[in-house]
Amino acid sequence: MFYNNPFSGLTEIVPPLAIQGFTILMVGLVILGTLMDIIHKKNVKYFFNNAKKAKKNAKIQLSTTQKTSVILKTVAHDIATTAELGRGKRRIAHVLGMYGTIIFWITSALLIFSFPTAGSSTPSSITIMWHAGAIITCLGGYWFWFFLRVDVLAEAHPWYRIIQADLFVLALLACATFGLAWSFTQYSGMTGLSYLFLILYIVSNLILFGGVYWSKFAHMFYKPGAAIQKNLAEADGSRDNLPPPAEAPQQFGLGIKREQPKHY
């Protein structure tokens, strides 16, 4: 199964241009949904206004080199490793989901655009990475969904409680899960099940990429910008108009250690 390119097998019944056109449509839906989200929530306007305010309150004028250094450190530490979540299971689950998804999406594009036909020889490394990316996404996503969600741990909600904010993670998990099921059934010659999982895979992609406006998909673009702005504000002394950290924080005593922290 890991050496199977399910998209090349699909070209036996669907023209390669149709598959590529569907992929481009999904990218267009992400752009459209993000723009709608920006207009509705005015996030970009907030970032620009906050940046102007920080520039006025800056105590240190950072050079271009210093700004570049802060940005690179933020990308390498805060964004690439989701450092804001601290150490623990939640951070590991997010890292698995993030890198699994990146691998899954990149290799999907390679399989669709570089090796679109059934007659083309697809490198095994790419097909293995496609399946591995989907598996890693499922590992991190299901771990997060069943065991680590904030409202389940802190507010005692059941794991099956679904709200609008869950649309992104559930659609993403559905894409990875149905993609793996489609590849397996196609490789095993289960034609009926293969078509079923293909349809579910297409529907889950439509929900994931078409539901950007209603889900947390766009947060993937906002959070890096917010992290960079925060660290630049720390570096130039503006601190987003917040007071500096206290040198002698209040001591809470040993009572705080009686319960393991799980309230976020």
> Can you give the residue ranges of every domain in the chain?
6-238
The residue behind tokens 């989701």 is: 82
User: Which of helix, strand or coil describes residue 128?
Assistant: helix
pLDDT of residue 25: 95
Q: Which residues contact 187 (CB under 8 A, 6 or more apart)?
A: 1, 4, 6
Taking the alpha carbons at both ends of the chain, their separation in whole angstroms is 40
Tokens standing for residue 165: 């904010």
For the entire predicted model, the pTM comes to 0.81
Tokens standing for residue 239: 């601190």
pLDDT of residue 178: 97
User: How far apart are alpha carbons 20 and 24 in whole angstroms?
Assistant: 6
DSSP structure class, residue 60: S
pLDDT of residue 255: 57
pLDDT in tens, the chain (264 residues): 888 889 988 888 889 899 999 999 999 999 999 999 888 877 777 777 777 777 777 788 888 888 899 889 988 888 888 877 777 788 899 899 999 999 999 999 999 998 877 656 888 899 999 999 999 999 999 998 888 776 665 666 777 788 888 899 999 999 999 999 999 999 998 989 999 999 999 999 999 999 998 888 888 888 888 888 888 888 877 776 676 666 555 555 555 566 665 654
Residue 43 in contact with residue 37, Cβ under 8 Å? yes
Dihedral pair phi/psi, residue 99, rounded to 5°: -75, -30
| Residue 3 CB neighbours (<10 A) | 12
Tokens standing for residue 227: 């992290």
